[in-house]
Every structure is written in structure tokens, then in C-alpha cells.
A and B are shown apart, each in its own frame.
Chain A
């Protein structure tokens, strides 16, 4: 029994230590976001990195999410004789929930994994050590631009996802299922408030921080060799995805 407790205690302590280490990493990154000199060129590069890597997948998944939503919602709403509410239903689902969550998951899979692999490769090829040896802080050059870029890019990608999703829903709802085009958009204006848009924005901002934080951390402290980088990349994607869903529930319950 004592042995079991000791194992459990040591496991819990190791988890706590790792969480503390990760949290300090985030605090350190935020500290350098506000302390000059600012690396605008690197920030632009990372904005391009996130946007460029994720745009196609965001467009594709956004369109199909809207289309599937239209099919499913139409089926449910018709049972209640409320199929006119298809537009607001799609818009609210996308703006409040699916847009931020799905776009964050897509960016994690596409750009987040690439970010971990890139930083991980820099670690194992001693490029991070080279920066440190030059008396330059690698956090400032590698981590801060990525986190700042994610904070800027995630809401923009989410907005694109929402718009494309709404038009995807339009194609299915109006062009295929025969909902009135005017009803689709005009009721949307009535039911979607600024508060809904802001909830989506808060979610996407926090997801940006979560994804860039986890992916940078995992790359920065990757294990040895190609196997270490591969493991770090997998862990980064899995942990980011889980945290996105957990944080989404938490934020949802607070902001509802």
C-alpha cells in the first residue's frame, strides 16, 4: 500500500513539476512580448507561417462544416417547423462554437505540428544553443514571435472559417434545400449579437495562446534525435487538441 502511494505521489509530483515548468515558460514568453527590442520581421514571418500553412485547410473545413451543419440543422428544424431559422442556427453554431474550436484544431494539425518540428529540429541541431552562445535569448527569437503571431492569426482564421462556413451553409440550405435566400441572412442579423461574436473572438484568442504555447514548449524541450522530435510533435498536437476542448468547455460555461 505504501509503495503504491509512493508511486502515485511521485507521479503526481512529476506531473505538477512539468505543469509548473510549462506555465513558467508561458509567463516568460509573455514577459518578453512586452519588453523591447521587438522582432517585427520575425513576427511577420510567423504570421505568414501560420496563415500560409493553414489557409487552405481552413477554407476547406470551413465550407464543409457549414454544409454539414445546414444538412443536420435543416433536418432537426423541419421537425419543429422552424426551418427558417437555419441561417441563424448555422451562424450561431459557427461563430460561438464550431468556428473557434475547429479552426484551432485544424491550425494545430497543420501549423502547430510544423512549429514543434521546426523548433525541435533547431534544438537537436544545436541552433538554439548557437543563439544562446551568441548571447541572444532564444525565447525572443523563436517563441515570442510565434505566440504573438498566433494571437493575431487565430481570430482572423476563425473569422474566415465562420464566413466560409456560413456561405457553405447557404449553398446547401438555399441552393439545395430551398430555404429562402433573404430569410437565411435577414434572420441571422436578428439573432446574432455582438456578444456572440465576442465570445468567438475570446475563444480564438485563447486557443491561439494555447496552441502556440504547447507547440513551442514541446519543440523547445524536445527529446534527442529524430525520434525525440517526432514524439514531441505528436504530444504537442494531442495536448493542444485536448486543451482546446477542455478550455472550450470551461470558457463556454463561464461566458454562456
Chain B
């Protein structure tokens, strides 16, 4: 379980998170939605300790990661897999090298075992015959799939998805959502999906939270959020220009 308690974060005097409180239960997929630049990626980076808060706590399975030493934090990070927004694949490695990287660096598995797991992970995300390609040769959708395979290769108990469908066409976007559902069914991880791809993203989520003005203003099941009376949530779901969310904010 992940508990985020009163999380505050500022950059150069600008307060991005103003006291976020959120509980993410084991094996659920939660979607955190919010307008661009509202701090969703900042929030996800706090969950894995890539950023440290000015105030507040992040508890991962009961351990407050905000006060941990780098080595202790690295141990906690072994529970995580992360799909970064742009994939964050290593340019200097081919697809196989990217997916196998963590296994080669952090486990004592044999070459054959690693190869077997990489091939399975790539097959899980619908990729075949791309092992020797470099990231520059891949399309946006393929990069995200390879990044998902890399995130899942260690069979983590928590997977963070930072805007998994951004930049993809509607078909690829749907296919990515399907992949999240199918891999969740197979691996049973706790998923945190950052997205503003509504209402599509509701299909993969067990619960949804809305981040606005640095706090979680509403949270619940997708149906509850769809029926929410909160004007901010309503405007965000319908995509209306008129409403409390200023277009130029």
C-alpha cells in the first residue's frame, strides 16, 4: 500500500504540491488525472523517491521513504517498475539491452534465463523481432511498449505509468490501455497511472483521483468520478472551456 500524507513541494518559490493526501491500495490501478503542468509527474516522482518533499510523507508498504538513506531507498525501489513519459530508453543500448539491463545489473541470472525473460516480456507487450533495434529506429508506440516491457521485467509489485498514452494515436492509445489491463491481470501489480486521457483511462482504473491546484480534490471509483458534482472534475471530464479551470492557468 502507498500512503501519501500532506505532501508539499515547491520549485523556485512556486508551490506545486500543497498538501496532497492519497492512499493507493494493493493490486488496484489508480489513475491520477489533472491538467497539464498541475504536478502529476512531480507527485509520481515523489512516490519512487526521485524527488524529496519539502514537507509530508510517502509511505510504501508502511516505510516512510522520505527519510531513507540512498542505499535503503534503492532497496525500496526494487519493488517498483516505472514507465516514463517518453519511455526513457537508453539510447546506447538496443531493445534487448534495455529490457535486460536491470536483470543483468541486479541479478545473477544466467544469460539463457535473462534471454528467456526478455523474450517473454517483449511478447507480453506484443513485440517480436525488434530485439536488435536501437531506440532511434522505433516508433513512439513501440518505444512505450519496450519501456513497459522494461518496467515489468523484474515483476515489480508496483508499476508507475507516467502518461502512458500521451503522444499516441487513438488506436495505439487504446492498445496501450489494453496492455496495462492485460499485464495487470498477469502480474497483479499495484498500478499508478498518470494521465489526462479521459474518459478512456477510466476503463483501466479501479479508482481515480483528480489533482488540482496542488491537492487531490476528488477521488473514488471511475463511476463515482463520472458522477462527481465537483465543478472542476466535471469540467475536466467534459473538456469544457468555460468553468473553474482557466484555460490559460
Residues of A within 8 A of B (CB): 45, 121-122, 125-127, 129-130, 132-137
Contact A129 B45 (CB under 8 A): yes
- Kindly state whether residue B86 has any CB partner on chain A within 8 Å: yes
Which B residue sits closest to A133, measured CB to CB?
Answer: B82
Question: Of residues A45, A126, A135, A136, which shows the largest number of chain B Cβ atoms within 10 Å of its Cβ?
Answer: A135
Chain B 91-112 per-residue mask, 1 if CB under 8 angstroms from chain A, else 0: 1100000000110011000000
- Kindly state whether residue B84 has any CB partner on chain A within 8 Å: yes
In the complex, A133 Cα to B106 Cα: how many Å?
A: 13
Contact A127 B91 (CB under 8 A): yes
In the complex, A130 Cα to B75 Cα: how many Å?
A: 15
Residues of B within 8 A of A45 (CB): 92
Contact B88 A134 (CB under 8 A): no
Contact B77 A134 (CB under 8 A): yes
In the complex, A122 Cα to B82 Cα: how many Å?
A: 16
- Kindly state whether residue B137 has any CB partner on chain A within 8 Å: no
Return the contact of A129 from the options B74, B78, B84, B91 (Cβ within 8 A): B84
Interface pairs (13), CB distance under 8 Å? A122-B90, A126-B85, A126-B88, A129-B50, A129-B88, A130-B89, A132-B50, A133-B48, A133-B77, A133-B80, A134-B102, A135-B74, A136-B74
Contact B90 A127 (CB under 8 A): yes
In the complex, A132 Cα to B77 Cα: how many Å?
A: 9
Contact A126 B101 (CB under 8 A): no
Shortest 10 CB-CB contacts between residues of A and residues of B: A135-B74, A126-B88, A135-B77, A130-B88, A133-B82, A126-B84, A134-B102, A127-B88, A133-B48, A135-B78
Residues of A within 8 A of B80 (CB): 133
In the complex, A45 Cα to B78 Cα: how many Å?
A: 27
Contact A130 B77 (CB under 8 A): no
8 A Cβ contacts from B94-138 to A? 101-102, 105-106
Tell me how far the C-beta of A140 lies from the nearest C-beta in chain B, rounded to whole angstroms: 10
In the complex, A122 Cα to B84 Cα: how many Å?
A: 13
Which A residue sits closest to B162, measured CB to CB?
Answer: A126
